[in-house]
Structure 1
Amino acid sequence: MSALSVQLYSVRDSLRKDPAATLERLAAAGFDEVEPFDLVEWAPRLEEPLRTTGLRARTGHASLLTAPDLPVIFDAAARLGITTVIEPTVRDGWQDLRGVATIADSLNHCAERASSHGLTIGYHNHWWEFTRLAGTTALEQLAGMLHPPVVLELDVYWAAVGGADVTTLATGLAGQIRHLHVKDGPIEQDPASQVPAGTGRVDLAGVLAAVPGATRVLEFDAYAGDVFAALAEGAAWVRTQTEPPADAQTEEA
């Protein structure tokens, strides 16, 4: 199956108190990878816990388009073994094609600079990238303007909140989506309403089937209960979508 990861923003309160214990709990829950946020801040504190737990960090979030010094971000990524640095949010510029083109140009420029460091650049969406422009969404317009080295991390929940048919969207952008933020809920902007993957209204099964090779990154923007238990529940559900049933495994053996 594709790698199973978790965006560390989901467990930010625990992470601030004890990074090592937090990663140990995630490793015990069966995660293969973690996705750090605020790379420059967290790289020094995550380096040793990653080594001791055996967890990998292939992707990480950093505010690339507003960074005063990109090499600092690239160095932090290298410190953790990250190979893809993802811009987590661009709030403005989605209302017209000129604004989208400016965002695309900035990401393409970052990708050119990152390539000399052996890094790939990606973009992660929220709901505001789904303005309709020229018969499609602003995110799809962006995808068409990005150079091939730039990849997408589709946040399935926020795409649904933005009004997208997420399975159709994932199918259309499958060639550019390398990572997924897998989360669920009633499809509304309030992050506190999010629920474990597979228990809400989002067609996660359809998206997972559309991009079977993409990294599955579980995330909660907010969660009122035990977030570790909710992540473990979501991870167990994701595994049911990507692993063959036991009887099929037996027949293949």
Structure 2
Amino acid sequence: MNSSRREFIKNSALVVAGAALLPNALLAEPKKLVRLGVQLYSVRDAMEKDPMGTLKKLSEGGIKHVEHANYINRKFYGYSAKEFKKVLDSLSLLMPSGHTVMTALDWDSSKNDFTDKWKYTIDDAATVGQKYVISPWLDESLRTDMDGLKKFMDQFNKCGELCKAQGMKFGYHNHDFEFSTKIGDGNLYDFILTNTDPSLVAQQLDTGNMYGLPGGDAMTMINKYPGRFELMHVKDEIKTTTKGEMGHGYESTVLGQGVINIKDLVKAARKKGGTSQFIIEQESYQGKDPVDCVIIDLQMMKKWGY
């Protein structure tokens, strides 16, 4: 698959469619439960060809937690929720989080409720064992529509309540446009953080997607919004001669081999960012095998104490 993560999510969205700071006391100690996993988009081609065999290789490589990026027509990589849960169980894998795009069309204004399709999405996430339902996109038509944005942030909070009823939490995953889109004195990501309830809506900070953009420094965000980033996509970046994954000259690489001080960043996320869910994601491989890359990434995180 040659499409970028951006294009993948845009296409997925088409299929699917069809901040108050925490009290300082809550930041005194990091959460006890720390999970280290891999975003399956990192091995997307292998998962498309042979999901069971790929998951088996990841499990044999020491990976215990995965995060999906493929839920289409009520199926995870071609399996129903119950079937995929059996696959994961057979390989001693857990899937605490997953990416599924929520759009404004998932709210039915006439009923003042979520659509049945979105309710099934939450049901299936619970069945497969997720603790977080993460939406990794925000439609372009909403990004500068203030009335639409405010309504959509209300929808975020309502989805948090929907997930909470099933023992889960709703969340949002950033790309680059949240930082390049200016709103007032801040940017779109500031707007999202200040207009969502942190008790209902978690943030998954992607360390690589924002890199190289004004205001797109993960350490700065952690310091600006302590305790707000329950999840993190751990991603290192290198300069490239192409536009790169986000279109601004950088692409991901093996952890510790790029320009981001990942070791210190994940330490700060654990201590100050409120992060307990660390998910490795690598989208470019510089000629290496993607499965080998994420296993090396995992070993590096373990070396750093995770």
Shift in Å, 1:135: 2.9
8 Å contact kept, 2:69–2:100: yes
Structure 1 range deviating more: 52-61 or 101-110 = 101-110
- Give the match for residue 53 of structure 1: 91
Unaligned runs of 5+ in 2: 1-32, 107-114
Shift in Å, 1:97: 4.9
8 Å contact kept, 1:182–1:219: yes
* 1:113 aligned counterpart, secondary structure: helix
Structure 1 residue identity aligned to 2:217? D
- Within 5 Å, give how 1:1-253 maps onto structure 2: 2-39=34-71, 40-42=74-76, 44=80, 46-65=84-103, 66-67=105-106, 68=115, 69-92=117-140, 93-95=142-144, 97-98=146-147, 100-130=149-179, 131-147=181-197, 148-163=199-214, 164-186=216-238, 190-191=244-245, 193-212=251-270, 213-223=275-285, 224-242=287-305
8 Å contact kept, 2:85–2:129: no
* Bigger relative contact order, structure 1 or 2 (CA pairs below 8 A, ≥6 apart): 2
- Give the match for residue 23 of structure 2: none
Taking structure 1 as the reference length, what is the TM-score of the superposition?
A: 0.86
8 Å contact kept, 2:253–2:284: no
Q: Aligned partners of 1:215, 1:236: CA distance in 2, in Å? A: 16
Cα distance 1:111–1:16, how it changes in 2: closer, same or farther (>3 A)?
A: same
Structure 2 residue identity aligned to 1:109? K
Structure 1 range deviating more: 118-127 or 179-188 = 179-188
Q: Aligned partners of 1:102, 1:221: CA distance in 2, in Å? A: 33
Shift in Å, 1:109: 2.0
Structure 2 residue identity aligned to 1:53? L
Structure 2 residue identity aligned to 1:137? N
Structure 1 range deviating more: 225-234 or 167-176 = 167-176
Q: Deviations over 1:105-146 (max 9, x none)?
A: 221121222222222100001000013333333212211110
8 Å contact kept, 1:62–1:86: yes
Shift in Å, 1:171: 2.7
Unaligned runs of 5+ in 1: 244-253
Shift in Å, 1:238: 1.7
Name the Cα RMSD after superposition. 2.3
Q: Aligned partners of 1:207, 1:132: CA distance in 2, in Å? A: 25
* 1:231 aligned counterpart, secondary structure: helix
Q: Aligned partners of 1:82, 1:17: CA distance in 2, in Å? A: 24
Q: Aligned partners of 2:130, 2:298: CA distance in 1, in Å? A: 22
- Give the match for residue 109 of structure 2: none
8 Å contact kept, 1:96–1:133: no
Of all paired residues, the percent bearing the same amino acid is 25
Aligned residues: 243
Q: Aligned partners of 2:226, 2:239: CA distance in 1, in Å? A: 22
Structure 2 residue identity aligned to 1:234? D
Taking structure 2 as the reference length, what is the TM-score of the superposition?
A: 0.72
Q: Aligned partners of 1:171, 1:102: CA distance in 2, in Å? A: 28
Bigger helix share: 1
Q: Aligned partners of 1:162, 1:129: CA distance in 2, in Å? A: 10
8 Å contact kept, 2:95–2:128: yes
Structure 1 range deviating more: 51-60 or 38-47 = 38-47
Cα distance 1:74–1:96, how it changes in 2: closer, same or farther (>3 A)?
A: closer
